[in-house]
Structure 1
């Protein structure tokens, strides 16, 4: 192991060796009580430096648009929400499709004010694209949409 990896926690390295574990690590990074710092260093480690996230936004008139973030702009966008609201995104189902060095994950989730809360804030699905490079998996793109009227949740 070279010197640059010595500062990286073993857990983070292990996260990037298994696709299912990597997806669960993303959820862990963004989940927590209101005002608690999120593990953005770990989040940054999971994503490729050129990785992107895309949020589907539904306008008042029902039209939709995409909001695209790089890693830093995503963090900046959600920090205000996480400062004032408890938010736990919990994976409820996962389907991994892999071909060689690329993988696609469908990951259903519930968002709740605590991991074991009966209160459902929202639920939806993440589409996550990964690539295996330099001995590890990287998240290259995460796209998500939330369940709403007219949008079937029967994904898989």
Structure 2
């Protein structure tokens, strides 16, 4: 009987310790989604990093409303404009390894916000670099980000973006004032 009680106590202690350890591992991302500034800053920060630097994909997923879409647009090989629809998990699967293997920093250089009530539309002009120390971007574009405020936090509902090209240069209204 003593052995059974001792074994039971050891099992309960082990379960209790493991449960405490698991709760400590869950990160608190609430500050990342409190304001429009914090959620957009977190979006850029979480995909950015030097070559070989892991990304915090749990934070990335936390930014998005369930069923949110990421929608890149641009010309295909035949020169026809297309869009592609992805969920956050699809983005991670399709781009996550490339971001780490190559290094990638996306920096917001201009923002235009239109908001009403609990919704916001943000045109966010970005520049992309392979390393934080690079002086010239290898790409620029605009992220059109739709967001929803549920009374407690902001959620990304969609990100629809396109890159600047020679035949589609960045309009001055979406660039910082010189």
Gaps of 5+ in 2: 1-22
Check whether the contact 2:104–2:131 (CA below 8 A) recurs between aligned residues: yes
Give the alignment of 1:32-51 within 5 angstroms: 32-51=49-68
Is 1:129 paired with 2:129?
A: no
> Which segments of 5 or more consecutive residues in structure 1 lack a partner in the other structure?
none
Q: Distance in 1 between matches of 2:114 and 2:37?
A: 11
Give the structure 1 partner of residue 46 of structure 2: 29
Report which of the two has the higher share of strand. Answer: 1
Please, what is the CA RMSD of the aligned residues?
1.7
Q: How does 1:42-81 map to 2 (within 5 A)?
A: 42-81=59-98
Kindly tell me the number of residue pairs found equivalent between the two proteins: 150
Q: Answer 1 or 2: which has greater helix percent.
A: 2
Q: Return the offset for 1:142.
A: 0.3
**Map of 1:138-149 to 2, 5 A cutoff?**
138-149=155-166
In 2, Cα distance between equivalents of 1:131 and 1:59:
31
Moved over 2 A (4+): none
Q: TM-score, normalised by structure 1?
A: 0.89
